[in-house]
Chains A and B, each alone.
Chain A
Amino acid sequence: MDFILEPLNLVTFFPLVGVLVLLFLKKDQKDAARWTALVASLVTFAISLWVLSQFKASETGLQMEVNATWFTFGAWEIKYALGVDGLSILLLLLTTFLTPISILSTWTAVEDRVRDFMLFFLLLEVGMVGVFLAQDLFLFYVFWEFTLVPMYFLIGIWGGAERMYAAIKFFLYTMAGSILMLLAILWLGNNQGTFYVPALIEQGGIPENLQTWLFFAFAAAFAIKVPMWPLHSWLPDAHVQAPTAGSVILAGVLLKMGTYGFLRFNIPLFPEAAKEWAWLMALLAVIGILYGAAVSYWQKDVKKLVAYSSVSHLGFVMLGLFALNPQGIEGAILQMVNHGLSTGALFLLIGVIYERRHTREFSEFGGLWKVMPVYAVVTLIVSLSSMGLPGLNGFVGEFTILLGAWGAGQEGLLGNNGVLYAGFAAAGVILAAVYILYMFGTMFLGPLTNEKNENLKDLNWREVVTLVPLLVLIFWIGLYPKPFFDLMAPTVEHLVATLGM
């Protein structure tokens, strides 16, 4: 019993309680299914807050660890090991925070097979939380692959017109990368004698040329998930076809699993390779920033624009991670959260208009501010956060990342060109203004020309409830990010110190 009541076990598996209840519901008990899922996810969020209260920010190691032997296979010991530290605590909270919000956003949007939808959603939460907490490579891989299944169904059943195509593409694309990671994990377990990550890091001693291979094997899985340019091709399809809540979670959390993977595994496990190849990662990141921003500008579909903007934003995160200094990495972690909040909110907002008009084409809109002022203002704030206006969350992340990237050039890590990386990335900030203002201007400003839009209803109370927590955090992080940085600073500084930077 004590084992079950370990905080991390609870936070990972509590959604299963909701799943159990859902299994006993009848198909037509839609409201019961919604409430069950909402309550289960809210309780999970409460548990994660409890985890936060137990979390000691000043410590650098894993906390609240659960460590048991799961099974042994020949000489291999597979551990069931969960733990939380400064790298994962914010992402854990982000996951448990976004899940109830997403569930609330489906209240009227999903009418078909509600019970099954909620069931998959809660299963997805288990997988995501597990990914962020798992400390054994094998266990991590299980959770990592497990998240694919519910997401596959969420896109494939409740998605748009070409949902099967998008779902299969999503599944296969991510699967392809994961296979390489699995090989690398097996190699590590076999040659290093353990799958337990802290032990692997402490042990070290992987020869440098092998590090490179392993680094890229892991990177293959993570880069597809991020997605880094040029492996982003699955993202627009998945986003455009996914239901609103699916997009929120996909952008808000699933993409972060990729960047988190880089941070948790690639950098500490293969420090030499990480340092050697940082320039490549940073280069791809910068290309992603500019490319994503330029491509966003020419989209005709709002959701696609936001999808491509994710490529740009995640480019910032990758650039920060591979600056390999405290500013860069802390900025990157915060930017993961920021992107989850801002882009999550943008997808929610797109869901709002899609539910009313059943279209997302720019050409259908214009002058919406006149009929939906509250909606317009909220969208404006979120858009500004997304383009990095100071005082809102996006700026804090982007600024620290750019500062870190510039510094990485000073420290010689990115060669003498660190300045160029930061410079081109900062130019992405201009391009971000271009596409965001294009989006906002086309949808909300100008005259109200389409008569179908004349009688649109503004946000209702439920939509406001889903958005307000996001707005609060957007302002909070923008104005007073100290508590967030405090959570991760010791861990990140320790990590950077072990890299010998």
Chain B
Amino acid sequence: MVSIEYYIGLSAILFIIGTMGVLTRRNAIIIFMSIELMLNAANLLFVAFARMFEALGGQIFVFFVMTVAAAEVAVGLALIVAVFRTKQTINIDEASTLKG
């Protein structure tokens, strides 16, 4: 039986790695993967807490998150492809036309 603290720790580490990835990398694909990492960090916590409280809600929520993530990937990748078609790059610093 692994105590909950380890899970929280692992989750926090994963989350921070993800966050750093999002904030520092320029390649859109990698940013995406980082976002996935953050989501999965959250998932890990959900499962862990569900186990701890012996409630199914957390487990179910994970399914939702996975579904949303899948949808997000679909939309996100489509956007990336669209951006790549017009800009010939997936460096997101290049996609800054909304600059005020």
Q: Per the CB under 8 Å rule, do A and B touch in the complex?
A: no
Task: Write the residues of chain A forming the contact surface with B, with a CB cutoff of 8 angstroms.
Answer: none
Task: Write the residues of chain B forming the contact surface with A, with a CB cutoff of 8 angstroms.
Answer: none
